[in-house]
Structure 1
Amino acid sequence: MWGHIFDLNNPLIGADNTWVLWAICALGAATAIYLEQKYDWAAKVTGAIIALVLAIILSNFGIIPMAAPVWDAVWGYVVPLAIPLLLLQCDMRKIGKEAGRILIIFLIGSVGTACGALLGYAVLGNFIPELDGLAGVFTGTYIGGTVNFAALGAAFEVSGDMISAATVADNLLMALYFFVLIAMPSIGFFRKHYKHPYVDEIEAASASGNKKAGETNAAAFWGRKEISLKDIALAAATAFTIVAISNIIGGVFTAIIPTSNPVLQMLNTLFGNMYLWITTISMACATFAPGFFGEIKGTNELGTFLIYLFFFVIGVPASVPMIIKNSPLLLVFAAIVVAVNMLFSLVAGKLLKFNLEDIILASNANIGGPTTAAAMAVSKGWTKLVGPIVLVGTLGYVLGTYFGLIVGSILGL
């Protein structure tokens, strides 16, 4: 048995051992939540980071596989179900201002991503093969997501070996960057120089009389609430129905909108995206029927647990040995791109006097996409920002490919 330890190609638990992998995923999420609500040190680190670290340790020690159908199921089924649960309290009439600020920072951060890719190419272009094409690929994925990564990799005809190395670097860098973003609201420099009303609101609520002695902020925020069987049934039925309808609508638009020119391609990508419709329908339900959907208890709790499963899965493919062996310079390149994105976002946010929470989530939406940004908003208790960041982040799927093509064109591809 011990021979499997550290053998990433032959993990102790195989990819086809479905029930055991689901159990580990659920236990990882539950452990992170328990520690966050039990111990002050864990509350400061946050359960999201704990879940990520647990997954990285298990996968890099050869205990669980880095690729498995269970992980795909979390991305393909768990995350879509989590989003409507988390948005049923989001009345669109109350979030316009937040969405506008996040959109501005997101667009500025997108320019920062493109500039970071060009800077990274100038520094490392002579040392990394095919970096002209990969610069476009990283630009697309750090504005949009995996769909942009795949599309631009094919467009620039990047070799399979370099795509694999870039994927490993991307996964590890994203995990590391999430650590930074989640920690930022606790760092004195950022608290001093930026407004942070949502952080203040959570801390004030935790410090009120509702918080018991020795209780962490997370435990106070997620205290026991009344919930019934009817609530669970309505929450589950609503989530499944919204996702099913959104999947159908996205498929219809994908089929009927041609891709014969760039404008139509953009519309096909935007309206064919299931997450756009999940977000839109969920927020429409919350806005136009708040007396029904807004009264369903437990939606935030159920959705948040599903998001913690997602946080665990994010850490699984981050292979440290693969980075050391195959793509250390690509990790440096990715870090340059992300650092410039963060610089653009922080400077613009400061000049425009935007909230620290807006800046963090917009940058997260650039680098990780709308799902990871929504997950971070949930883990921090910034529930009012979940809807806006999903909507803004979804726009990245459209913009990412075009920014990537522009960067590739600048570099002569």
Structure 2
Amino acid sequence: MQRTIENHAVCFKVLPSRPVTTGLIIAAAAGLWSERTRIGKELSGPLVSTLIGLLFSNLGLVGGSNAGTVYGTVNKFILPLAIPLLLFSADLRRVFKETGRLLLAFIIGAFATVIGTVVAFKLVPLAALGAVDSWKIAAALAARHIGGAINYVAVAETLQVSPSAQMAGLAADNLLCAVYFTTIFNLARNIPPESPRLDVAEATGEPTTEGSKGGIQVLEATIGIALSAILCYLGQQLAVAIGFPSASISVITLLTVAIATFFPKQLKPLVASSEGIAFILLQIFFAAVGASGEIRAVLNTAPSLFIFCFLQIAIHLGVILGVGRAAGFARKELLLASNANVGGPSTAGGMAAAKQWQSLLVPALLIGTFGYSCATFLALALGHTVLRPMVLP
């Protein structure tokens, strides 16, 4: 009994004092708070948390001997637990039914990312990372710009990218994403709102990017966490059973999307509270993404990553705007679809709310969730069938 009490005392003494853990939580909270400001709305809470984490890391405010352990805990435990919580609403039948033209614009954006990745990899082959890691990082960045940062980690872990290459890719991409989000908001500056501003949750009955309607309900949140934990366990066991333990996040995603599609009524009471918990966990993940990237390491290891990411995003944006305009899409549809590609549902929903495009808010959230559901698998296919043969015999 005495030993147990002493162990608990040590935990309570050590955890709050760790600068890495404290820094991540501060960055996560600051990112959510920033969405109440104009700049925060443009960049989005997740990106702000990522940039603050990156700033903390490069100023030496977080780090040390235990930093790798903390980041590993976030990737191995917090991120997998957050994925099912976020995807309980990923009913693919609803996505195909309710997103309309915006889903087609999203598909154009995904295609544009594939083109951008292949062209950028041809022009900037990332030789400094080595033949093995180069195509894997390119595939992970493709997943990042089809679905979001969650998909980047899923692909990187599935392909077993080296930690140094994975962190270098994140650091380069984070800086370019800040430029990207500022650019698309600038491109949308003259597009008028659809109507006088309404409370988003009241107008749509959907969760907003800052939380769920009515707040987090304790019972539903607890059930959601328990179900998420079960799905994580099953996903990890299945990944081991099929001989690909590194693909556990991909399997967890597949399982969650399956039950969300076949049992939407049963999951509906859990969605709002589960998404609220997921947003909190993911803010910590985004902060860790930023804190794990050192700009100096990118400059020393693979400065070409900045050029690669710039070309990839620039080609994506150019193709989706050019092809989409030729296909008759409105600019706001294309910008919102591109936002969902690069940032995911939270940034796309945030942009729709900030620009007062009420009719596109729910479709933006749905296509962003759809991106989370499929980007990992699309990027893995791209990597194995196209990118890998470009550098390996």
Settle same-fold status: TM greater than 0.5.
yes
Aligned to 2:312: 337
Aligned to 1:369: none
Give the secondary structure class of the aligned counterpart of 2:48.
helix
Equivalents in 2 of 1:201, 1:95: separation in Å?
23
Letter in 2 for 1:323: V
Instruction: Rate the CA distance shift 1:105–1:46 in 2: closer, same or farther, 3 A.
Output: closer
Equivalents in 1 of 2:39, 2:115: separation in Å?
36
Instruction: Rate the CA distance shift 1:140–1:274 in 2: closer, same or farther, 3 A.
Output: same
Give the drift of 1:245: 3.3
Give the drift of 1:117: 0.7
Contact 1:105 1:345 in 2 (8 A): yes
Instruction: Rate the CA distance shift 1:408–1:293 in 2: closer, same or farther, 3 A.
Output: closer
- 2:265 corresponds to 1:288: yes
Aligned to 1:316: 291
Contact 2:90 2:366 in 1 (8 A): yes
Aligned to 1:119: 123
Give the drift of 1:396: 3.4
Aligned to 1:13: none
Give the drift of 1:355: 3.3
Letter in 2 for 1:275: T
Aligned to 1:56: 54
Equivalents in 2 of 1:284, 1:206: separation in Å?
31
Letter in 2 for 1:316: A
Give the secondary structure class of the aligned counterpart of 1:65.
coil
Contact 2:44 2:347 in 1 (8 A): no
Aligned to 2:356: none
Instruction: Rate the CA distance shift 1:53–1:256 in 2: closer, same or farther, 3 A.
Output: closer
Instruction: Rate the CA distance shift 1:300–1:316 in 2: closer, same or farther, 3 A.
Output: same
Aligned length: 348
Within the candidate set 102, 106, 110, 1:102 is matched to 106
Equivalents in 1 of 2:95, 2:309: separation in Å?
33
Aligned to 2:389: 409
Normalised by the length of structure 2, the TM-score is 0.71
Aligned to 2:72: 72
> What are the ranges of 5 or more consecutive residues in structure 1 without an aligned counterpart?
1-15, 155-159, 211-219, 260-267, 365-371
Equivalents in 2 of 1:323, 1:62: separation in Å?
16
Within the candidate set 302, 314, 336, 2:277 is matched to 302
Equivalents in 2 of 1:303, 1:255: separation in Å?
25
Normalised by the length of structure 1, the TM-score is 0.68
Equivalents in 2 of 1:45, 1:275: separation in Å?
26
Within the candidate set 230, 238, 263, 1:245 is matched to 230
> What are the ranges of 5 or more consecutive residues in structure 2 without an aligned counterpart?
1-12, 144-151, 354-360
Give the drift of 1:106: 1.4
Contact 1:117 1:336 in 2 (8 A): no
Equivalents in 1 of 2:29, 2:89: separation in Å?
24
Aligned to 2:4: none
- 2:197 corresponds to 1:204: yes
Equivalents in 1 of 2:201, 2:238: separation in Å?
49
Which runs of structure 2 are paired with 1:231-270 in the superposition (5 Å)? 231-241=217-227, 243-251=228-236, 253-255=238-240, 257=242
